[in-house]
A and B are shown apart, each in its own frame.
Chain A
Amino acid sequence: MPMRIHAALLVAIMSAVTILLRFLPFLIWSGRRKTPKYILYLGRVLPPAIIGMLVIYCLKDITFSAAPFGLPELIAGVCVVLLQALRRNSLLSILGGTILYMFLVQVIF
């Protein structure tokens, strides 16, 4: 099969599978039938759990055994938590943490 056609099929597959994964729960549970209580329960408790999962997911490649020992992430992460706790302004927390992190990895470490 010519390389370009194969590549186009791969792109189509990646798109289709991703769309299917995103639509599947809606197709199964949001029709006219009543959504099961268990799914509603999961819908209520999953969001904080997933955001916790995403935090770890973003930090998955840190190694504590070699320089810089995850320090830039730790320092900038604490800065985001503090800004968010004190000012409750996501934009400010994200901007502040990112600028600090860029400074740390470009200049300090």
Chain B
Amino acid sequence: MNRNTVKAALIRSIPVMAGYIVLGTGFGILLRGAGYGLPWAFAMSLFIYAGSLQYVGASMLASGASLLTGILTSIMVNARHLFYSISMIGRYRDAGRFKPYMIFGLTDEVYTLLVGGEVPEGAEPQAYRFLVTLFCHSYWVTGSVLGSALGTVLPFSTEGIEFSMTALFIAAFTGQWLESRDHIPALTGLLCTLVCRILFGPGRFLIPAMLLITAVLTLLRHRMEDTAEESQ
């Protein structure tokens, strides 16, 4: 693992740093409020490493939700990870010894960092992807532990800093839009999700949206493969 690789991975992961530390801190505080202290925050962020599920998880722990509820909620909240893995099969094919950890650490943000931008010049591709995953994971764990240890919000107002995650996705969306000629997949994702958000409300639109996106892209397959061949 050369220095260029470490440096490139660190720079690539910086946009996630602030968001993960602050959202992680929020989680640590929430979990402490629910009656579970530092070891719990540390273990959950280390072994689950999925932001929205951990937030829901804090309230499940507080209310003593049943194990079946735990299973169903985890599936509902995290089903989208199936998507990430499907589109990383090719990229992670020869990741070797790094592969299990890279799959484990494939969060929304890590996915967005790694699926878009090319691997920087002079960096070893798989080691670079491994390190981006590792750095992001460490920000998340650090934030959670910090929040649990402090138990209160930071002395200055961080209100609105969670927008850094939204900004990350908007920047990635814009970047790939400018770089690709076929905008149908991007529009499909945007519009199908918007339609489902309107139809199903903010609580339960994600799984219908995933199904709709898959259905539309499947129906468009022949058309898309034809255009891909023409442009080659």
Contacts and interface: CB of A to CB of B under 8 A. Distances in A.
B64 A3 contact: yes
Contacts of A38: 218, 221
Given A21-B81, A60-B205, A88-B175, A49 B185 contact: yes
A81 B174 CA distance: 6
A33 interface: no
Contact of B103 (A23, A41, A91, A93): A23
Size class of B's contact patch?
Answer: 35 or more
B193 A48 contact: no
Q: Is the interface of B mostly helix, strand, loop or mixed?
A: helix
Interface string B189-232: 11111100100001001100110011001100100110000000
A34 B164 CA distance: 39
Contact of B89 (A9, A29, A54): A29
A10 B185 contact: no
Contacts of A58: 165-166, 169
Interface of B: 11, 14-15, 18, 36, 40, 43-44, 47-50, 53-54, 57, 60-61, 64-65, 67, 70-71, 74-75, 78-90, 92-93, 99, 103-104, 106, 108, 111-112, 115-117, 157-161, 163-178, 180, 183-194, 197, 202, 205-206, 209-210, 213-214, 217-218, 221, 224-225
Given A14-B48, A46-B87, A95-B15, 10 more contacts: A7-B36, A7-B64, A41-B224, A46-B86, A50-B80, A52-B186, A57-B193, A88-B175, A104-B160, A105-B159
